[in-house]
């Protein structure tokens, strides 16, 4: 489900299709608990904000086949930078490049398969300042340029 909150406003519609690749952790990452590099893309079904992202993913197994993980990285998107244009309310993301964080929790079965719940959040951490058409500088007082974007869903994973 695209743009669902809970940490940002929900202004966009549709569902996201997502493909993500996780790679083996390089030896040079062992000092930081061996995260796995990740690359992914999410496409929105309604033509709203789509994204390409990358980062590092940490995962821990517990109980029998249960696991949880989180990732930190960045994303590039095709959404709107400043909302509310021509009387139409739109998501206001502020920058083309945003920070991205995600959490997963799931269950592994039959050695290669996994099902998980997923939440990701992207925002600019208030680092994007915009000059507004009315001449005000940095727009933070007249328009929000960091509404953030979140997706929640169920994922299927396959380990090669």
Does residue 8 sit within a domain? no
Mean pLDDT calculated for residue range 102-110: 96
Total number of domains constituting the chain: 1
Question: What gap in Å lies between CA 106 and CA 77, rounded to an integer?
Answer: 27
What confidence score (pLDDT) does residue 24 get?
Answer: 96
Does residue 89 sit within a domain? yes
User: 123 pLDDT exceeds 80?
Assistant: yes
Q: Per-residue pLDDT tens for 44-92?
A: 999 999 999 999 999 999 999 999 999 999 999 999 888 766 666 678 8
pTM recorded for the entire structure: 0.87
User: 134 pLDDT exceeds 60?
Assistant: no
Does residue 10 sit within a domain? no
**What is the C-alpha radius of gyration for the chain, rounded to an integer number of angstroms?**
18
What confidence score (pLDDT) does residue 140 get?
Answer: 43
What CATH number has the domain bearing residue 99? 2.40.160.20
Does residue 23 sit within a domain? yes
Does residue 94 sit within a domain? yes
Does residue 132 sit within a domain? yes
- Enclosing domain of residue 138: 16-158
């Amino acid at each position: 489900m695209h743009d669902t909150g809970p940490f940002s406003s929900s202004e966009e519609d549709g569902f996201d299709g997502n493909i993500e690749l996780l790679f083996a952790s390089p030896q040079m990452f062992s000092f930081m608990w061996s995260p796995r590099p990740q690359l992914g893309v999410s496409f929105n079904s309604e033509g709203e904000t789509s994204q390409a992202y990358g980062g590092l993913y940490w995962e821990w197994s517990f109980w029998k086949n249960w696991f949880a993980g989180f990732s930190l990285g960045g994303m590039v998107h095709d959404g709107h930078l400043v909302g509310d244009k021509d009387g139409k309310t739109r998501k206001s993301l502020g920058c083309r490049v945003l920070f991205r964080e995600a959490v997963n929790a799931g269950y592994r079965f039959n050695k290669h398969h996994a099902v998980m719940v997923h939440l990701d959040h992207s925002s600019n951490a208030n680092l994007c300042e915009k000059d507004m058409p009315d001449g005000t500088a940095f727009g933070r007082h007249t328009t929000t340029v960091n509404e953030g974007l979140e997706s929640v869903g169920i994922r299927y994973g396959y380990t090669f």
